[in-house]
Amino acid sequence: MRVGVFDSGLGGLTIIQAITKIFKGAEIFYIADTKFAPYGEKTQEQILQHSLDIVDYLLKTHQIDALIVACNTATSAAIKELRERFPSLIVIGTEPGIKPAIEATLSGKVGVMATPATLNGNKYQLLADELSCSNSVELIEQACPGLVEQIENGKTKEDKTVSMLHDWLKPMHENEVDTIVLGCTHYPLVSDTIKEIMGAHVKLIETGCAIAQRLKALSEEQGHTNNGHLEINVFSTGKINKNMINEILENWKDGGEIMVRSND
């Protein structure tokens, strides 16, 4: 099984980390699109065209069988078109985990941290309106411009990053939010700081495990036996922080191989 995965940077590796725990017998081709990052500050049209270009490259160069759009922003902008253009391809998107957050909250107050493009996207708005209204839950939304860049540069613990998180989380703390949706694949990389600010009791909802399970299930439907070696190939379109790659995947004990390459 050959699986293509892309994100605007290294955030999607949090999904790869979840995949390594349950998925075997595959070769993964991950593209960190650092040259075009951040997606969250691009137009919907720009993100759609860029997503189509990346998938075209993955199909022609690596003959992928499955695609994971490891980015909430790109999913919102492109997932419908990708499924229509490539009907023979397994296509899995990434969406903010509002539904599991609603199921987990005890206070009825759910925080949503995401990029501006995700929060402004029609896909997110429809999902949020439908679920919050039908479940009588209040969503406290917070756009986090600049956070992806801090994480990409390995500045997860720096004073500036912590200060940004304090400012964004203050309204959630004041509103007694007990569950927070991490609506960007980068954000789990600052989950420790979020817990320090909000308190250890806060529940953080990310989507890596659900995506990994979905990939496993859909692949097995097509005959994948899910055993054997796993290889991860990491490509970047621009500068990449290799230390962050090692940090994100440091707990991978499968014995497989990680190859890091840069290309245009």
Q: What residues does 139 pair with on adjacent strands?
A: 110
Residue 35 buriedness (CB in 10 A; 0-12 / 13-18 / 19+): middle
If DSSP states are collapsed to H, E and C, what string results for 86-155? CCCCEEECCCCCHHHHHHHCCCCEEEEEECHHHHHCHHHHHHHHHHHHHHCCEEEEEECCCHHHHHHCCC
Active-site choice (133, 144, 184, 209): 184
At CA 174, angle to CA 172 and CA 180, rounded to 5?
A: 20
The whole-angstrom separation of Cα 129 and Cα 122 is 10
Name the token pair of 41.
Answer: 């500050």
The whole-angstrom separation of Cα 187 and Cα 142 is 13
Determine whether 144 is an active site residue. Answer: no
b/e per residue 164-174 (b: at least 16 CB within 10 A): bbeebbeebee
Determine whether 184 is an active site residue. Answer: yes
Active-site choice (71, 133, 144, 209): 71
Residue 108 buriedness (CB in 10 A; 0-12 / 13-18 / 19+): middle
The whole-angstrom separation of Cα 190 and Cα 192 is 6
Active site residues: 71, 184
